[in-house]
Amino acid sequence: MIGVFASAVLYVAHVLATPVIWDGRASLNLTAADLDSSTGPFLTVVKGSEAATHYSQLLGDTIAPTPLWGTDSEQALSVSIDNSSVFLPGGSNPQYGFRRTDIIAAVDGQHDTLITQMETGTTVFHFSVQQDASRPLNYSHEYQVAFIEPNDGSHIFELQLGSPFTNPTGQLPAADAHSFKVLDHALNVLFSTPFTADAWHNFAVEVDWNARTLAVFYSQDAEPLQSVTDTVPNSSAASGSAGQGDFHFGVLKLPLVNSADSPSNQNDVVHYGIQEGTTEALLYSGVFVEDASGGVSTGSDSVREA
């Protein structure tokens, strides 16, 4: 680990020293109408039947964003689910097993071209997460909260919370349910840390799209990001365009097995299972994607040493 840390220090770069490919740090002038129309950096269509702003709110000056990147030009965003959060992909076949609100990286609704821009060479996916004290998650369930999803439905990496879905259902909540887990494509846990209250948890995942490797960085609040893993292989992910996909963040809650369902339906987590229909939320800020050619940005106070 010492060697890993030393090499990470060499990569320390001033904030924005490397090109930002997509900036999801909500500017202060982004409006609710922009969220509803997917104008600006977010595609907001993966949600239930209500308008996007029923499930995601711009927080203005009510809750400060992560201090990692400076606080004067960004507002935090809440993302919530309730019992209406049943997504109908393409307008049919409702996903009754899930409750989900996903925000997808886009530019005024356009996301396909952005995928190839964000997922070429070596790029870094930054996101900061905080608890919403008034709308807690239910840690007996699994939550997939940030991930890149190619067309095969797998995840290049994933930030997970709660108790991983199992059939049959195991002991709930799982031992590490209250911890963030950063998973690789093969669902190995690369890094885990407790989801403590009243703090911004800052993550960065560096993806080398050619070598198919991952590296994870983490800090809290204004602390500079630190390397917390080696650069590890992720070669179960497809190479080329088959391994590229939308960058999602939000709240995706998996069900528990419903013993009343048929055995095959019990494994169909998308469409079947138990959901309580509670209102739950997470707060996000500091979401952006950068090119890693100049190193990984570790915070607004970091200094380029290279």
Residues that bind ligand NAG (CB under 6 A): 27, 29, 73, 83, 96, 138, 140, 184, 186, 188, 232-236, 256, 274, 276-278
Pairwise CA distance, residues 179 & 45, whole Å: 28
Q: Residue 213's beta-bridge partner residues?
A: 208, 233
E strand or H helix that includes residue 132: none
Question: Which residue's beta carbon is nearest to the bound ligand NAG?
Answer: 236
Q: Shortest approach of ligand NAG to residue 305 CB, angstroms? A: 28
Q: Position of tokens 């409006």?
A: 31
Pairwise CA distance, residues 120 & 276, whole Å: 40
> Which C-beta is closer to ligand NAG: that of 236 or that of 300?
236
CA distances from 306 to 100, 144, 207, 227, 302 (A): 42, 36, 21, 16, 12
Q: Shortest approach of ligand NAG to residue 172 CB, angstroms? A: 6
> Which C-beta is closer to ligand NAG: that of 10 or that of 33?
33
Distance separating the N- and C-terminal Cα atoms of the chain: 21
Q: Shortest approach of ligand NAG to residue 306 CB, angstroms? A: 27
Q: Shortest approach of ligand NAG to residue 213 CB, angstroms? A: 8
> Which C-beta is closer to ligand NAG: that of 12 or that of 269?
269
> Which C-beta is closer to ligand NAG: that of 1 or that of 306?
1
> Which C-beta is closer to ligand NAG: that of 125 or that of 191?
191
Q: Which of 112, 89, 104, 84 is nearest to 42 (CA)?
A: 104
Type of residue at 234: N
Q: Shortest approach of ligand NAG to residue 123 CB, angstroms? A: 18
Pairwise CA distance, residues 159 & 230, whole Å: 17
Q: Which of 127, 115, 132, 120 is nearest to 158 (CA)?
A: 127
E strand or H helix that includes residue 171: none
> Which C-beta is closer to ligand NAG: that of 74 or that of 224?
74
Residue ranges of the alpha helices (H) in 170-288?
Answer: 263-266
Q: Residue 123's beta-bridge partner residues?
A: 207, 291
Q: Shortest approach of ligand NAG to residue 274 CB, angstroms? A: 5
Work out the burial of residue 59: count CB atoms within 10 Å of its CB; fewer than 13 is exposed, 13-18 middle, 19 or more buried. Answer: middle
> Which C-beta is closer to ligand NAG: that of 98 or that of 247?
98
